[in-house]
Amino acid sequence: MTKRLRIIVSGILRGIFNLFTKTEVSGLDNVPEEGGCILAMNHMSILDPPLIYLTLHGERGNMAALVADKYQHTPFISWMVNLFGGIWINREESDFQAIREARTFLQNGGKLGIAPEGTRSRTGALIPGKTGVAFLAHKAHVLITPIAVTGTGKVFKELAHLRRPHITLQFGETFTLPPLDRQDRAGCLEKNTDELMCRIAVMLPPKYQGVYANHPRLLELQAAQS
């Protein structure tokens, strides 16, 4: 019953997105068809995770997302997260239970959506990434696919003005992070987080690159593209 309900709800939501927005997707082939993978995205709107889920659902195997537990008190969102197998996480502290659930899900071949920034950016531009994604990738030994999202932050404003919002989803090249040095674990996590965030930033327009706009690693990635 749950599986059938997921299919029905997914179909309805996909139809709504297709009807009311113009969504362009690129780089979908970068997402591995098999094996666990972290889908790391910038975070502009509450619409980001469901949009990515609907884009990949049925294409790349089992999917879920890490979701802040504050939404457990929002009935519709809570129902949706539980229906689609989301993993609740307390972002205010080290939630080791959620990390263990996420690691198990990834090691079983799941695709897990996570926003490294930890919260939505109020301006749309990147804010500093937290080290949790780099830590999880290390513990689960999985690949990471960076995803750049634009347009979702203005969806409701555009719809209110009877305009059809333009959304883009760009899936970047999947990569692995280097192992952590036991002598400088914290420093390696910070460096790996910067690597991840810069791989997202390089796919975003300059106005959305935020705190990573002049990061040396971003400049290297940009030079490699030219």
Confidence (pLDDT) at 107: 95
DSSP 178: P
Confidence (pLDDT) at 173: 97
Confidence (pLDDT) at 59: 60
CATH architecture of the domain formed by 2-225: 3-Layer(aba) Sandwich (3.40)
Confidence (pLDDT) at 128: 97
Q: pLDDT, tens digit, for every residue of 151-204?
A: 999 999 999 999 999 999 999 999 999 999 888 999 999 999 999 999 999 999
Exposed (0-12), middle (13-18) or buried (19+): which is 222, by Cβ within 10 Å? middle
Q: Which residues contact 115 (CB under 8 A, 6 or more apart)?
A: 40, 41, 42, 43, 48, 49
CA 121, CA 131: separation in Å to the nearest integer? 17
Beta bridge partners of 63: 111
| Closest-CA residue to 212 (of 224, 222, 199, 198) | 198
Confidence (pLDDT) at 29: 94
Residues in the chain predicted with pLDDT less than 70, given as ranges, are 1, 58-61
Confidence (pLDDT) at 61: 67
Domain boundaries, the chain: 2-225
- Distances from the Cα of 36 to the Cα of 28, 110, 112, 212, angstroms: 16, 5, 8, 27
- pTM value is 0.93
